[in-house]
């Protein structure tokens, strides 16, 4: 009887040890895989940063600006650039016919966990849309739109009010006036408004939601830029972190 108990104990111990080894190997593999994915993403974006040459010169609004010529040779979906001082946000902006394609692809069209920063497919950059929306993931290595969370800190908010936003046709200083957490139940990504009054109402709604009060004047005559990323603190699937800014053409 004692031998059977001992044998069972040994078998259980061996199985447990094997399971631990499998879990360790799998965890190590996953960690290494993610590490190299992050590393590759940083390298690919660094290549784009070398190709992009910002300029404040306003050219013909229906012709391509020189800043983007080299990048467009790689991918014609590159329609802009966004940069925020003292953050890792210094990236090309892409746009295609939906809001899904670049969730898991970089600007070289490679499969990427980090995806790309991309514009809402409804925006038309050859025109002066009232509301331009950019989306991006929040990566654990602080890349993509992870550091937008800094705008919930009052000191950072006040010191980093200007977001540099460049497009194929125009360049802007975007002045941040609102930042908050919400869910997709609130329609903060409207691109069509019935009239000036409905746009003014929308601006008032997003101002009131802000975690930090701003004295920036924003009216229905302004263009606004919205930066959107996920936020898991409110809801795993529907939670969002949102930053709004007023666009001032350079």
41, 94, 200, 56 alpha-carbon torsion, rounded to 10°? 90
Catalytic, 230? Answer yes
Q: Which of 179, 185, 189, 181 is nearest to 232 (CA)?
A: 181
Region at 23 (left for phi over 0; alpha for psi -120 to 50; beta for the rest)? alpha
* Residue 27 CB coordination number (10 Å): 10
Assess contact for 127 and 140: CB atoms under 8 A. Answer: no
Could you tell me whether strands 162-167 and 223-230 are parallel, antiparallel, or unpaired per DSSP bridges?
unpaired
The pairing of strands 223-230 and 171-183 is unpaired
| Catalytic entry in 220, 230, 239, 250 | 230
Place of tokens 């409110």: 234
Whether residue 199 contacts residue 206, with contact meaning beta carbons closer than 8 Å, is answered with no
CA–CA distances in Å: residue 78 to residues 91, 166, 238: 10, 11, 27
Q: Show the tokens assigned to 87.
A: 């953050």
Three-state DSSP state, 231? coil
Report in angstroms the alpha-carbon separations of 231 from 67, 85, 116, 146, 148.
33, 22, 17, 10, 11
Active site residues: 230
């Amino acid at each position: 009887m004692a031998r059977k108990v001992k044998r069972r104990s040994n078998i259980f111990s061996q199985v447990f040890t094997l399971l631990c080894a499998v879990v360790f190997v799998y965890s190590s593999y996953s960690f290494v895989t993610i590490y190299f994915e992050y590393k590759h993403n940083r390298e690919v974006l660094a290549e784009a940063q070398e190709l992009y040459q910002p300029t404040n010169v306003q050219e013909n609004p229906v012709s391509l600006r020189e800043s983007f010529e080299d990048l467009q040779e790689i991918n014609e979906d590159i329609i802009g650039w966004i940069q925020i001082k003292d953050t890792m946000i210094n990236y090309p902006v892409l746009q295609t016919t939906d809001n899904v394609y670049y969730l898991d692809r970089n600007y070289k069209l490679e499969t990427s966990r980090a995806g790309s920063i991309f514009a809402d497919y409804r925006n038309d950059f050859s025109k002066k849309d009232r509301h331009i929306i950019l989306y991006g993931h929040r990566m654990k290595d602080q890349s993509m739109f992870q550091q937008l969370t800094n705008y919930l800190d009052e000191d950072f908010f006040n010191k980093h009010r200007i977001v540099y936003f460049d497009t194929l046709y125009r360049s802007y200083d975007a002045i941040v006036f609102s930042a908050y957490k919400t869910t997709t139940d609130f329609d903060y990504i409207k691109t069509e408004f019935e009239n000036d009054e409905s746009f003014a109402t929308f601006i008032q709604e997003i101002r009131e939601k802000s975690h930090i009060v701003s004295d920036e004047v924003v009216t229905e005559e302004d263009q606004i830029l919205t930066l959107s990323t996920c936020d898991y603190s409110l809801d795993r699937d529907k939670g969002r972190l949102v930053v709004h800014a007023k666009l001032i053409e350079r």
